[in-house]
Structure 1
Amino acid sequence: MIPYRHEPTYDFSKEENKAAIQAALDKVQAELGKHYDLIIGGERITTEEKIVSINPAKKDEVIGTVSKANKELAEKAMQTALEAFESWRKWDPRDRADILFKAAAIVRRRKHEFSAWMVLEAGKPWAEADGDTSEAIDFMEYYARQMLRLSRPQEMLAEAGEHNEMFYQPMGVGVIIPPWNFPLAIMCGMTVSAVVTGNTVLLKPASNTPVVAAKFVEVLEEAGLPAGVVNYIPGSGAEVGDYLVDHPKTRFVSFTGSREVGTRIYERAAKVQKGQIWLKRVVAEMGGKDTIVVDQDADLDLAAQSIVYSAFGYAGQKCSACSRVVAHQDVYDDVLKKTVELAKTLTVGEPKDGNYMGPVIDKAAFDKIAEYIEIGKQEGELVLGGKVDDSKGFFIEPTIFAGLKPTDRLMQEEIFGPVVAFCKAKDFDEALAIANNTEYALTGSLISNNREHIARARRDFQVGNLYINRGCTGSIVGYQPFGGFKMSGTDAKAGGPDYLLNFMEAKTYTEKL
């Protein structure tokens, strides 16, 4: 089997790469305003009710309109997916994997184009969008290779005169509910992991970024995916989402998003409905309150670089983003100063123009983050940023608060924006205790040259993804399988060697000879 290799990203300081992304942006801007139908069993369906996708950096610019599903169309999609499952589950896993390989090749050829769609629809800066597209390619190729590995018979013991096997089989119809913040990568990974394992899916994309999802479904069609395997049904979470989570024929739900929605899905999926003959599985990734710990033996320049990259990349709109810094009292002032000075160099503006930081995703996010900034002014000292402006787009400056207490709201609640809180610790014991004092356990980072502290963090820092001497964002498929525990989710480890098992069931076969 060909070994997996990570898809490289582009260096946009090079003129040829700048020119390429600009050309892609020009191409995509010429396509803005188009309409995208539902796709159920390969059939395009137009509805009266629409979702209007706008550019968060330029509120008066419509990216596209998308037909909106209702319960009746959700039921039609479910029946279509059930029918398609009966043939799709029988496909040779190698043939299913080949569709993913082809889809990855298509996205690779159109890489800048997909990145440009995310620059405009999701407000992603060039480098962030490029990383998103690379990750989508990675997911397709990695999961295809993992399916080839898992499709082989598992090695079993046997008595004389007996033949034993254990193999994995697909489960049925799954509901895929991806987030807006990685509108291609995570949406793609959640979808193709369920599909390559032989399941059929109902894809309900995030309402902020449905056009990127529509473009991806077109790629799957081009790659040869049979009609009905992926059904594209944007719609309301309260109407379509709840209906499908509750549906007795739903076999599993794959969700990435807020803790509030994730716990609600988990609860609803646990209830056995009339006519339901299985227990539904839920794969949920629900956010974080991620900490970078800086001890007295740290490289302080590295610490500042790690904090700024992790806190302000994509305006802090990552579940892995650094929103808390816990620094040893001996280095606290220096780390804070270096971080502020570095953050001052960041440019904020429309991402299509090459700025480091663009807008937050919408008005609701803007208002929530602005409210947290006001809370921060009461709890700590505003040392950088704090200004907000939604006159043209939803822009918020990189914002740093100092002097926070471990139990302050800015240290406990997920903000999901470009706001980072600094807290002082008297020793490493206290720093680790503060790092672990939230309900989340997704990512964390320790900046240190102290081997004892590094060993203790490895054992006692309660996160699903721990990084030493680097930032706490930027996991790579196949390198750092991603997912956390506590209220961060089910620790399913996307991009890891056992992720596909979430969408299959094991069957043991024994024959007496």
Structure 2
Amino acid sequence: VASELSRRRYELAAWEIFEVGKTWREADADVAEAIDFLRYYADEMDRLAQPMRLGNRPGELNQRSYEPRGVTAVIAPWNFPLAIPTGMISAALVTGNPVLFKPSERSPGLGTLLTDIFIEAGVPAGCLSCLPGGPGVGQALVAHPHVITVAFTGSKAVGLHILAEASRVDPGQPMVKRVIAEMGGKNAIIVDETADLDEAIAGVVASFAGYAGQKCSACSRVIVHRTVYDSFVSRLREAVLSLEVGNPLEPGTQVGPVIDARAQASIQRYIALGLEEGRLLAKQSADPSGYFVEPTVFTAIQPHHRLAREEIFGPILAVMKADNFADAVRLANGTEYALTGGVYSRSPANLAMAREQFDVGNLYLNRPITGALVSRQPFGGHRFSGVGAKTGGEDYLTQFMIARVISENTLRRGFESTQ
């Protein structure tokens, strides 16, 4: 499958632009990540497939081995329509589980195309089925007693509903269901008084405006030390107004449309709310004829404001002011999510404090906070950002299997039976 995705890399990127409005750079990155997942999980299963001896005490042999859990439902999002489902599907298949795959109703074409590539590459008949449709399909999969594992990526609300539904035990159900859920984020970047503002501005803009802010890892809050606040926001305004917003088919486009009219309306309601809660710093122009939302920045946002607490999933950035680095970390941790976060600083003491106290699953120091790489930056959060091991990490595949330990006494006494 990895070889086929590599061969069709540009065709698949083109489909992403067509169906979900990614820009060329974002689309190509999604295809590349899908390939990385396939190759990494194949290598990981080679390692896990070998029984492991536990301990080395004489007179006994203890071995741990893994076996498949059973039928797995994969419920995937639209914002990474190849990488995320490829990761979940390949993890379930390589560990020996048949998969029922529900792509998002916003990207059914790419879901069907991905399924066809898996089957054409040799996945046995009946081991992978694509079930496009709306929320009812996902609900039916979660509720079915023969579905043993649910791998989900999406919103917090849907993830919590799946966890609640999966906790029920229905007649005919062979074991307790396991839910692997990646959910939302309200991610912050801290800019302290020692930061390189050129790097910080570029990193913040890339992290909040990339794919029109439609990433669970996207930056939606930037927390700036008071001594550099005025300089930072002045330069941030100019950077945002310089963004190229438009048709993603054009190679110079940096910010394309949001996914559909429903998303556009939801994000625009938050822009209206931002005008009430804070002060408008910058709002780039956008084509009114499509599902475009202007990259928008608000200042004077306070911790209790909705713009500082709720996931928006669009190109809206809230700027907050901190008195010192400890205050900035406190503000950054002040949401129910714990997914990604970033710090721009040249202070060893502040970077050390961030490592210890900035409570996120993936912390990025002096770099953008999106674009995690398989194996190098396993991805996932905690609190209400998700439950389960990080994707693209060494613990991920074991969630789709059961572990068995066999202990043998190798100091047998007496004679072997002849019967």
Alignment check: 8 A CA contact 2:241 2:284 kept: no
- CA distance in 2: counterparts of 1:452 and 1:358, whole angstroms: 39
| 2:127 is the counterpart of 1:229 | yes
> In 1, distance between residues paired with 2:189 and 2:388?
20
Structure 2 CA distance for partners of 1:174 and 1:142, relative to 1, 3 Å = same
2:294 to 397, 413, 429: 397
Give the match for residue 307 of structure 2. Answer: 410
- Find the aligned partners of 2:40 and 2:307 in 1 and give their Cα distance: 37
Cα shift at 1:183: 0.2
The equivalent of 1:330 in structure 2 is: 227
Deviation at 1:189, TM superposition (A): 0.5
Contact kept, 8 Å, 1:370 with 1:388, in 2: the verdict is no
- Matching of residue 469 in structure 1 with residue 362 in structure 2: no
5 Å-filtered alignment, 1:353-502, equals: 353-354=250-251, 355-385=253-283, 390-391=288-289, 393-502=290-399
Q: Give, as a single letter, the amino acid of the residue that structure 2 aligns with 1:365.
A: A
Greater CA deviation, 250-259 or 273-282? 273-282
Runs of at least 5 residues in structure 1 that lack an aligned partner in the other structure: 1-102
* Counterpart residue number, 1:277: 174
Kindly report which structure 2 residues correspond to 1:291-330, keeping only aligned pairs within 5 A, or say none. Answer: 291-330=188-227
**1:387: Cα distance to partner?**
5.6
Give me the CA root mean square deviation: 1.2
Please list the CA deviations of residues 292-348 of structure 1 after superposition, one character each: whole Å capped at 9, or x if unmatched.
Answer: 000111111111001000000000000000000000000111111112211222111
Does structure 1 retain, via aligned residues, the 8 Å contact 2:212–2:315? yes
| TM-score of the pair, normalised by structure 2 | 0.96
The aligned amino acid for 2:375 is G
Q: Offset of 1:460 from its aligned partner?
A: 0.5
After TM superposition, list the pairs within 5 Å mapping 1:195-206 onto structure 2.
195-206=93-104
Aligned sequence identity (%): 48
**Preserved contact between residue 155 and residue 183 of structure 2 (Cα < 8 Å):** yes
Distance in 1 separating the partners of 2:53 and 2:343 = 40
Q: Report if aligned partners of 2:187, 2:219 keep a CA contact under 8 Å in 1.
A: yes
Change (3 A) 1:492 1:160: closer
Structure 1 residue 406: Cα displacement: 1.4
2:62 pairs with 153, 161, 164, which one? 164
The Cα of 1:164 is off from its aligned counterpart by: 2.0
Instruction: Give the aligned partner of residue 150 of structure 2.
Output: 253
Q: Is the 8 A contact 2:343 2:354 kept in 1?
A: yes
The offset of 1:388, in angstroms, is 6.2
Counterpart of 1:180 in structure 2 is: 78
- Cα distance in 1, alignment partners of residues 59 and 195 from structure 2: 62
Q: Distance in 2 between matches of 1:439 and 1:183?
A: 26
Q: Tell me the TM-score normalised to structure 1 length.
A: 0.78
Q: Which runs of 5+ in 2 are unaligned?
A: 411-419
**Residues 6-48 of structure 1, C-alpha deviations (whole Å, 9 max, x = no match):** xxxxxxxxxxxxxxxxxxxxxxxxxxxxxxxxxxxxxxxxxxx
* Counterpart code for 1:297: T
For residues 84-163 of structure 1, the aligned pairs below 5 Å read 103-157=1-55, 159-163=57-61
Residue 214 of structure 1: aligned partner: 112
**8 A contact 2:342–2:367 mirrored in 1:** yes
2:350 maps to a residue whose letter is H
Q: Aligned residue for 2:184? A: 287
Q: Matches of 2:31 and 2:320 in 1, distance apart?
A: 35
Tell me, in whole angstroms, the C-alpha distance in 2 between the residues paired with 1:261 and 1:359. 24
Counterpart of 2:12, as a letter, is F
Q: Secondary structure at the match of 2:47?
A: helix
Paired residue secondary structure (2:387) = coil
Query: 1:348 is paired with a residue of what secondary structure?
Result: coil
Deviation at 1:165, TM superposition (A): 1.0
How far 1:389 sits from its partner (Å)?
Answer: 5.4
Bigger CA drift: 153-162 or 195-204?
153-162
The corresponding residue for 1:93 is: none
Q: Name the counterpart of 2:415.
A: none
